[in-house]
Structure formats: C-alpha cells, structure tokens
Amino acid sequence: MRNIAIRLAYDGSSYHGWQTQAGLPTVQQTLERAVEKTVQHPVHVTGCGRTDAGVHALAYCANFRTDCAIPIDRIPLALNSRLPADIAVQAAVEARSSFNAIGSCMQKEYIYKIHNSRIRDPFLDCRACFWPAPLHADVMNAAAAAFVGRHDFAAVRSVGTETKTTVRTVKWCRAERDGDTITVTVCADGFLYNMVRAIVGTLVYASDGKLSPRDIPALLERGDRRLTGPTMPPQGLYMHRVWYDGDVGNMME
C-alpha cells in the first residue's frame, strides 16, 4: 500500500473548514471525493491540522493510502481534474509508511492579513480582515514579541477543542506593514483553537492602547481569555508553511 503525501492550497471562503461535517461542505470531504474517483476505492485523507470556516491555506499537507498504480507525478493533475477551482493540489510524493500529515509535522506557520484602510477593497473581502481604524504596526510588533517562547497559551485559546495541555512553543511572532496591509506571522510547534486569531486581536488591542505590550507576559501567566483581545474574523487567516523531515519536507518547500 502506497502512502501518498500531497501539498495543496485552497481558498476556504466556500467551506466550513477542513474537517468533514455532516451536511456541510468541507475541504477534507471535497478532497476525499476527488481522491476516491481517481484511485477507484474508498480513502481517508489525513490533514496536517484543522482550519475553521473561511480560513485559507497557501501550503497544506495531507496524506492518504492507496494501492493504485498512478505515477506520482500524475497524481496532482489527476486530482485537480476532479477538484473545484478553489482547491489545487500542487505536488505529490511517496512518503514512508509511518508518515502521518498531522503526527509527523514539526511546526506550522500561519499568517493573518489585515487590510488597514478607510476604504474597503471588494477584492479582499474574503481574503483579508478589513479594519478601517488606524493601526500601529510598530506597537503590534512589540506586542507580538511577547508571545515568543514556551508558554501556557490558555489566555488566547477559545473553548471548543479538547487538548491535553495548553502549553506551546512559539518560534516567532511578528507584525509588518506593507502599504495598507498589515501581516501578522506566527510559527509554533502547535496551535490551540483560535490561538492565532486571538493573538492578532490582542495585538490590535495593544495598538488601540487597551493594553500595553508589557502587559502580555502577565496576561499569559493569568490564563484568563477575558483579559486578552478579541478573536479576529476568519477570512484574514492563512496556513502558510508546514515543516517535515525528508522527502515530504522537500515537497513542502
């Protein structure tokens, strides 16, 4: 049985997230249908993580097992011919039998885009968070630095998914402005439910003067979700990079 890993990208605007849900369109369900039509047998596609409704992926990894003999370089073309235009398989590789897209993942990076302008851009409506009030990227970046390191991130976690621990290691967190776009980048060894969107909301609070970047270590220590910033809308969030060892890691570059 072959273990096929694929790299894909998707616009999540029309989907209720990655994970299959009864009666709702999801990326996983749509992808599994395309894979099953291609390999001619039932499959389960394992994704590298959950993304919520309206969230996008610029680089996402998934794997499935099959006994079909389709050459590996033909798999992206075969799948894309059966996928809608808002999901694209970009590459495929044969992974070792023990590979699992979520269990083998070393770290992930998300970005969050804010369109910070007084005038709405209709072409960014589903791809960035529109925020007309002025934001100060330098203050946001100072606040972002306070999240770097190994902490208990319960203060920026929404209730909704059970987890053994709320401790994670953030490798980097920064906010940068390019014209009217502010991009927040967060890389960690794992993420809690709505963690990135809550971090970004806390950076916005810091920009607004509702808290100081110096307050954030104490807020993390207290672990009270009510004291940090709001959970930002989903459309600004993108899975950006995913790290693995070996051939799968090379495919994801």
pLDDT, residue 163, reads 84
Instruction: Read off the pLDDT of each residue in 146-169 and give the average, rounded to a whole number.
Output: 92
pLDDT, residue 16, reads 96
CA-based radius of gyration for the chain: 19
Residues of the chain with CATH 3.30.70.580: 2-104
Of 52, 121, 208, 224, the catalytic one is: 52
160 has a pLDDT exceeding 80: no
Instruction: Read off the pLDDT of each residue in 138-145 and give the average, rounded to a whole number.
Output: 98
Instruction: Read off the pLDDT of each residue in 212-240 and give the average, rounded to a whole number.
Output: 97
Of all helices (H) and strands (E), which one includes residue 139? helix 137-145
- Cβ contact 72:92 at 8 Å: yes
Instruction: Out of 51-60, 159-168, 205-214, pick the least confident.
Output: 159-168
161 has a pLDDT exceeding 90: no
Instruction: Read off the pLDDT of each residue in 38-45 and give the average, rounded to a whole number.
Output: 97
202 has a pLDDT exceeding 80: yes
The class of domain 107-240 in CATH terms is alpha beta
Active site residue 52: yes
Q: How confident is the model at residue 218 (pLDDT cuts 50, 70, 90)?
A: very high
Predicted TM-score (pTM) of this structure: 0.95
Q: What is the mean pLDDT of the chain?
A: 97
**pLDDT tens for residues 18-27?**
999 999 999 9
C-alpha distance from residue 250 to each of 9, 32, 82, 103, 229 (Å): 16, 24, 26, 17, 37
Residues of the chain with CATH 3.30.70.660: 107-240
pLDDT, residue 162, reads 76
**What does DSSP say about strands 56-66 and 237-243: parallel, antiparallel, or unpaired?**
parallel
Options 3.40.50.300, 3.30.70.580, 3.40.50.20, 3.40.47.10; CATH for 2-104 is: 3.30.70.580
159 has a pLDDT exceeding 90: no
